Amino acid sequence: MRHLYDVIIIGGGPVGLYTAKKLAQKGFKICVIERKTRVGEGVLCTGLISKEGFERFSLPVESILTQIKSFAFNSPKGQRLEYSYSAPFAFVVNREIFDYKLFESAIKDGVEYKLGVMVRSIDKDGRFYAIYGNDRKWWARSVVIATGNNYRLQKNLGLGKPPGFLYGLQVELPVNVDETNIEIYLGKDYAPGSFAWVVPVNHRGARIGTILNDADSEYLKRFIKEKFDSVDMELERNRINSKPIAYGPIKKSVQDRIIVVGEAAGQVKTTTGGGIFTGLLCADIAINYLEQALKKNRPLDGYEVEWRSALSGEFEVGKKIRRIASSINDRTLEHLFSFVKHNRFWVDLLIPKINFDYHSDFLLYCLKSFIPLLKIS
Ligand SMILES: Cc1cc2nc3c(=O)[nH]c(=O)nc-3n(C[C@H](O)[C@H](O)[C@H](O)COP(=O)(O)OP(=O)(O)OC[C@H]3O[C@@H](n4cnc5c(N)ncnc54)[C@H](O)[C@@H]3O)c2cc1C
């Protein structure tokens, strides 16, 4: 049969490309189908990835713009809690280069690709799946849906979409910043129940954004105006982009020989909206089950169990913290900041609990420690 692949991967984002490359390395015949004509084009992302993630998944170092060694939390009235490490703990990448390098390296490992093809449907055709797009048809023994926040294919299959969404808003501006430091801002004027960020791309530019319950750009405009008064807002206001971010996992991510992975499956941190590490973590699990399915005809259901047990605690704690954060007012935040500032030992106690990719331990510890100050139960 012409155009028969072991696995067709729909979606050439980081999770789809990584899955493709790893499966090709195991000797399978793989094809990635991507709707864009150039991989990585026009992606909205802050591009912050942990050093651990970079090493664990052998990510493309050519895409690194800057290395992060310190971070600071800022209260609504300007109290600042900072912490720095002796070595970088995260990198900021250029997503266009990041995705493209993953693509190039997948091709080197034998992955075939179709660019500029929007997959419209997936049908079971005897023992195989028929994938339809741009008036053409391809066949596969297994299918990976890695379509990010386009949920149409999985909805048509009855696999559903994430239970909720947050909205990431961001603009890249030419501002002077410390290229090794991230600033996080809290408070109802900039990001009610959430946070705003300034993440450097170099010492003369930063990605400035917020993650909110809706795509209202007024908060981000106000934030930029107050923090960077030299920026010409008239020029910049149209450059704020926004995108929905999955908030919670889909109900079912496996159907027969079809797997959903990455943001499409809601494999995104419910705290920050970051999805590259979590998506790649789940891709590794998917790759393992796909290999067993293709070689030994084993079912794929274990994928569902394994990735949920790896991440469900993180999802739940993230949601709990967001619920609590939305009930804390700015006065309480100020109170909390001054308490920690005047009892600096808290910082030394808390910092070792921070893990860039797993937030639940740190957050639960903070919650337990500060409940009396937050006046919540
Ligand atoms: C403002 C903002 C900031 C962010 N910052 C970070 C960050 O700092 N760190 C982090 O880890 N994450 C961040 N994220 C989230 C991160 O961008 C996503 O989690 C990540 O891109 C998900 O990867 P993916 O491969 O699952 O999906 P995507 O990157 O969305 O890739 C999906 C691909 O599928 C293609 N596609 C969709 N439908 C079809 C179809 N029917 N046929 C063919 N192709 C199709 C799309 O064109 C796309 O290329 C941020 C998100 C936002 C909005």
Per-residue pLDDT tens digits for 35-47: 999 999 999 999 9
In a domain? residue 279:
yes
- Residue 108 belongs to a domain with what CATH number? 3.50.50.60
**Using alpha carbons only, what angle is made at residue 298 by residues 293 and 302, rounded to the nearest 5 degrees?**
90
In the chain, the number of structural domains is 1
> Could you tell me if the CB of 35 is within 6 A of ligand 1?
yes
Distance CA 321, CA 203 (A): 32
Residue 130 in contact with residue 120, Cβ under 8 Å?
no
Predicted pLDDT of residue 233: 61
230, two tokens:
């030299």
Q: Which of 10, 263, 272, 284 to mutate to test the pocket of ligand 1 (most atoms within 8 A of CB)?
A: 263
Ligand 1 mutation pick, 50, 150, 172, max ligand atoms within 8 A of CB: 150
Q: What is the pLDDT of residue 375?
A: 59
Residue 377 lies in a domain: no
Range of the domain at 262: 4-59+93-162+250-319
Residues with Cβ within 8 Å of residue 331, at least 6 apart in sequence: none
The residue assigned the tokens 């984002």 is: 13
Closest residue by Cα to atom 45, ligand 1, is: 11
Alpha-carbon span 30 to 11, nearest angstrom: 13
Please work out, in degrees rounded to the nearest 5, the angle formed at the alpha carbon of residue 275 by the alpha carbons of 175 and 225.
25
pLDDT of residue 232: 67
pLDDT at position 244:
97
Q: What is the pLDDT of residues 159-171, one digit of tens each?
A: 999 999 999 999 9
Q: Tens of pLDDT along 211-247?
A: 999 999 999 999 999 998 777 665 555 689 999 999 9
Mean pLDDT over residues 44-59, rounded? 98
| Residue nearest atom 38 of ligand 1, based on CA coordinates | 147
In a domain? residue 174: no
Averaged pLDDT for residues 139-155: 98
Q: Residue 191 domain-assigned? A: no
Determine whether the shortest distance from the Cβ of 283 to ligand 1 is under 6 A.
no
Q: Is pLDDT larger for residue 61 or for residue 344? A: 61
Q: Which of 300, 268, 290 has the alpha carbon at shortest distance from 281?
A: 268
Residue 176 lies in a domain: no
In a domain, 136, yes or no: yes
pLDDT band for position 350 (cuts 50, 70, 90): confident
Tell me the DSSP string of 151-194: -HHHHHTT----S-EEEEEEEEE-----TTEEEEEEETTTEEEE
Phi-psi region of 52 (alpha: psi -120 to 50; beta: other; left: phi over 0): alpha
**Adjacency order of strands within the sheet including 48-50:** 48-50, 90-93, 64-68
**Domain presence at residue 254:** yes
Q: What is the pLDDT of residue 374?
A: 65
Side-chain half-sphere CA neighbours of 131 within 13 A: 29
The string of pLDDT tens digits covering residues 288-309 is 999 999 999 999 999 999 999 9
Q: Is 119 in the pocket of ligand 1 (CB under 6 A)?
A: yes
| pLDDT value of residue 190 | 93
Residue 33 alpha carbon, nearest atom of ligand 1: 43
Contact 128, 137 (CB under 8 A): no
The one-letter amino acid code at 75 reads: S
Per-residue pLDDT band for 71 (boundaries 50, 70, 90) equals very high
Q: Is the CB of 6 under 6 A from ligand 1?
A: no
The model's pLDDT over 275-290, given as tens digits with 9 standing for 90+, comes to 999 999 999 999 999 9
Model pLDDT, residue 377: 40
Confidence band of 354 (pLDDT split at 50, 70, 90): confident
CA dist 156 and 63 (Å) reads 35
Rounded Cα–Cα distance for residues 23 and 27 (Å): 7
What gap in Å lies between CA 44 and CA 37, rounded to an integer?
Answer: 17
Distance from C-alpha of 171 to C-alpha of 372, rounded to nearest angstrom: 37
* C-beta of 276 in contact with ligand 1 (< 6 A): yes
pLDDT at 280 (0 to 100): 98
217 within some domain: no
Rounded alpha-carbon distances, angstroms, from residue 235 to 45, 351, 358: 21, 39, 38
The pLDDT of 305-334, averaged and rounded, is 92
- Tell me the pairing of strands 254-255 and 165-173: unpaired
Quickly list H helices, the chain. Answer: 14-25, 51-56, 95-108, 152-156, 218-227, 233-236, 276-296, 301-325, 330-342, 345-350, 360-374
Enumerate residues 6+ apart whose C-beta is below 8 A from 145. Answer: 10, 11, 122, 153, 154, 159, 258, 259, 260, 261, 264
Indicate if the pLDDT at residue 251 is higher than 90: yes
Residue with tokens 């981000």: 220
Residue for token pair 């947050």: 166
d(CA 132, CA 114): 12
Name the pLDDT band for 366 (thresholds 50, 70, 90). Answer: confident
93, 173, 342 from 232: Cα distances, Å: 26, 10, 38
Res 327: pLDDT: 87
Cβ(12) – ligand 1 distance below 6 Å:
yes
Question: 340 CA to middle of ligand 1, Å?
Answer: 36
Contact 220, 210 (CB under 8 A): yes
Q: Which of 39-48, 62-71, 81-90, 139-148 has the lowest mean pLDDT?
A: 81-90
